A and B are shown apart, each in its own frame.
Chain A
Amino acid sequence: MKIVVNGKPRTVEPNTTILELLRMEGYDDNWVGVWVNKKQLLQKEYSTYTINDEDEIKIIRPLGGG
């Protein structure tokens, strides 16, 4: 399936979940914001939401420092 992640094209297998996508993109944990087609998912949906063809996905990781 062809999708867009943070403005860049990606290809994923059918039935890929958001959680699996996060791991593929190098995010080790779930403390990130995820929008699919401009709608923010709840964190609990990351393991259940199955990506659809042509989904536009935005992933934001909050950066701290100190």
Chain B
Amino acid sequence: MYNKFPDAKILDVDLTSGNISTRVLPGEIYRLYPGGSALGLYLILQEMDPKVDPLSPENMLVFSVSPLTGLPVSGTSRVTITTKSPLTGTIGDSQAGGFFPMHLKANGWDSVVFRGKSEKPVYLYIDGDKAELRDASNIWGKVTGEAERIIKDELGHEDIEVAQIGPAGENLIRYACIINMCNRANGRNGTGTVMGSKNLKALVVKKGKGLRPYDPEKFKEFSKRVVNMIKDNPSIQGLGEFGTDGDLEGFSDEGFLPTKNWTTGYFPEGAKNITGTTMAETILKGRDTCYGCAVRCKRVVEVPGVVDPLYGGPEYETAAAFGSYCGITDLTAVCLANQLCNMYGLDTISCGATIAFAMECYEKGILTREDTDGLELKFGNEKVLPELIKKIVYREGIGALLAEGSKRAAKEIGKGAEELTVEVKGQELPAHMPQYKPMVGLIYAVNPFGADHQSSEHDTFLTLPKDSLPIQRLGKIGTYRTYDNPFEIDEDKVRYAFDTQCFYSILDTLNLCQFVWGPSWELCGPDEILELCKLGIGWNTSLFELMRVGERRINMMRYFNAKAGFTKKDDYLPKRLFEKMPDGPSKGIQLNEEKLNEAKELYYEFAGWDKETGNPTESILRKLSLGWLL
């Protein structure tokens, strides 16, 4: 039976002129770019020159959901921001969850495009079909919790969701983020910086009703079945009980927890203190969730007088970035740093990593107390974190340098500081060591928007048995081999990296939570995603169509980057990653640089990209219905 694919409704906001208009993208086109950064890129590539300055009015900032957003089942409330990143200079991409995405879609919008720059601080308020730019001068400068309170008071009700920047975005810190619910972050790539450059404080939506499924009866059964699946999935149960931070101590026990600016993988003095189990036993106040989701992986923590539950608790990445990266063993200090980032709107990974870089510079005498305004930036000194984070937010003293991110800061510092950065394309690495997970390392290198750990499946899952659910699911996208260690680099692993990258790209297009939906260990696998599309919006799709969607998005990103001047020479990994692990359980293990480079060349072949440049060829673009780019 034929069902017309829904049209996309787009709100277009010109901040320079104040004009607001709407347009509709017909379903037959939307089906090729069904949400997320696929839709964002489609809109951007129609009209924006990839060479624009990311902080200029010419940069477009696009919020996108998907045709599935707000369906009444776990893991469908996500929003993607697409823009040119001021941190990397590449296309920028970041997702966030919560309730904001669902309510944006509930107002009838698939995408909101911001262009230009407002003369004065404004926020956009959406109530159904109506959208108006409102004066934000009384909330400019306010932290997220305070700003949200003022907006609610001004509008006279609590029935809103707010996606906003904090002072970090206003002050154009390169890794400023967009926060909703005061604790959900479109964290990476400096999307908040772009928002700040436009004098845009917030996008506010009136709460509405979730999406009514195409087949409500069958969808209800499907949704219940999804909830029932939790009891058979230990990974999901673990996420609910201990959050993403549950495995932190395990990483250190293996010797692969990035520690002291990635100089080691072993953190015996501190891992236990900052892991999810300890959080659950001490300061955890509750488990929060996103719209419709039964997993409940979000942490709510409280330390009376110090850490406010409003700003949420740290994820694994944050616990590593402010914990092990900085040699800090104090959980309260880590939670406070997380809170400050959510208050001021800073990416916790880039912030923690940049501070860790500065700490190593200090330890090596490259930075002195005179440079650091008297702050003793030694590994383990948690006392410096609050003051240093605020210095970064307000660009004071050493903060002005660190506000630019570790790559730019290193260039400015000189004296060998550039040897100490751990970044790809200017984005600091997340806390998964390529020495342990080489295919994660490969994707760090080739990912269009810098190092990202949520763009492919990790090597470690290939150690599970052949009859396990994750491996059976991976069989549907052509992965059959299992390994007795995660360290191997061979052709099958590269294929796994590429194919799961395409699969994760589907998730970031359809704006599905990558814990609930995925190709292997997640709560729901490929079969359930097809069922979601069919019962949710009457879209009788296939894994073939979806993998094409995913591959198309990656190629659009790579095309954007090529036009912005990027080539395969930008697909590097930091030198430090190829040194032998120095101590602990992983002592002596080394990521083989030659093998990884061979893997990269094979990846480009699998992707169908040009051997010399690493960029999409005309034929691959045409194959993916992207001939209009030529």
Contacts and interface: CB of A to CB of B under 8 A. Distances in A.
Given A58-B484, A62-B521, A63-B254, A29 B467 contact: no
A29 B461 contact: no
Nearest to B251: A63
B578 interface: no
B378 interface: no
A63 B461 CA distance: 8
Contacts of B484: 33, 35, 38, 40, 58, 60
A29 B521 CA distance: 14
B431 interface: yes
Interface in B204-251: 234-235, 239, 244, 247-248, 250-251
Interface in B387-441: 431-432
Contacts of A47: none
B499 interface: no
A6 to B, nearest CB: 10
Contact of A62 (B316, B463, B514): B463
Interface string A25-65: 00011111111001011111000000000000010111111
A9 interface: no
B485 A43 contact: no
Contact of B432 (A41, A44, A65): A65
B458 interface: yes
A66 B317 contact: yes
B468 interface: yes
Which of A42, A43, A58, A66 gathers the greatest number of chain B CB atoms within 10 Å?
A66
Interface in B454-475: 454, 458, 460-461, 463-468, 470
A32 B250 contact: no
A66 B234 contact: no
A62 B461 contact: yes
Nearest to A33: B463
Contacts of A44: 467
Which of A38, A42, A64 gathers the greatest number of chain B CB atoms within 10 Å?
A64
Contacts of A32: 464
Contact of B463 (A60, A64, A66): A60
B453 interface: yes
B515 interface: yes
Which of A28, A29, A31, A42 gathers the greatest number of chain B CB atoms within 10 Å?
A31
Contact of A42 (B235, B247, B465): B465
B464 A33 contact: yes
A39 to B, nearest CB: 9
Given A33-B482, A64-B235, A65-B431, A40 B466 contact: yes
Given A40-B482, A65-B247, A66-B454, A29 B234 contact: yes
B360 interface: no
B347 interface: no
Contacts of A40: 465-466, 482, 484
Contacts of B250: 61, 63
A47 B464 CA distance: 16
A20 to B, nearest CB: 17
Contacts of B468: 30-31, 43
Nearest to B320: A65
A65 B316 contact: yes
A11 to B, nearest CB: 23
Given A65-B247, A65-B431, A31 B463 contact: no
B295 to A, nearest CB: 12
Nearest to B485: A60
Given A33-B464, A34-B465, A40-B484, A66 B315 contact: yes
A30 B317 CA distance: 26
22 contacts: A31-B234, A31-B235, A31-B468, A33-B463, A33-B464, A33-B484, A34-B465, A40-B482, A40-B484, A41-B465, A43-B464, A43-B468, A58-B484, A60-B485, A62-B458, A63-B460, A64-B235, A65-B247, A65-B317, A65-B431, A66-B239, A66-B315
Interface of A: 28-35, 38, 40-44, 58, 60-66
